[in-house]
Amino acid sequence: MLKNDKWILEKAKHGMIEPFEESLVRHVEDRKVVSYGLSSYGYDLRLAPSDFRVFKHIPGTVVNPKRFNPANLEAVELQSDEDGSFFIIPANSYALGVSLERLKIPSNITVICIGKSTMARCGIIANITPAEASWEGYLTLEFSNASSADCRIYANEGVLQLLFLEGEPCQTTYADRFGKYQDQPQFVTLAKV
């Protein structure tokens, strides 16, 4: 069953999402922001300003998930203007960031992370990923810029939505099997096998 705002709020009080916004935030002071916080059936997660990397083309190299080379990623500088703090994702490229919020998923819940329509309408596609039962940490976020133009992605603002799905208790949670992405810190975690 898809969980609602009342359930998310109650679980957040017990540390499921930190920091947590109890309502959908659309303005900060006098500035419009890409919305974040609690919605009817989900939570709009923010991008942290701490770490953002873009894949760079290195002629003759192939990205291999079994032997991931960190040199394939280039750190992107955080920029700011009257609209807020942002990173630039070059046209037709792929980037990795990290969530501002830390998650602690209950043992009978799996979270699906999906892109926000505001971002999709600019050409930024958030990779659909799960956060499994009993997973904890900061999510590494994956973005594609499918447009032919460079695009901004704002730090401290909404970038994707979390949907909380309840199931029958599982036999083995992500924590029980010592999942390789458990307890991710608040910086980009590279592919692991």
List residues with catalytic annotation. Answer: 142
DSSP conformation letters of 13-30? TTTSEES--SSEEEEETT
The rounded radius of gyration (Å) of the Cα atoms in the chain is 17
User: How far is the C-alpha of 94 from the C-alpha of 143, rounded, in Å?
Assistant: 6
CA 142/CA 144 separation, integer angstroms: 7
Answer whether 47's CB lies under 8 Å from 53's CB. no
Phi then psi dihedrals of residue 20, to 5 deg: -125, 135
The SS3 of residue 58 is coil
For residue 8, the SS3 value is helix
Which residues, listed in sequence order, are joined to residue 25 by a DSSP beta bridge? Answer: 36
Joined together, the tokens standing for residue 21 give: 């916004």
**Whole-angstrom Cα distance, residue 31 to residue 8?**
27
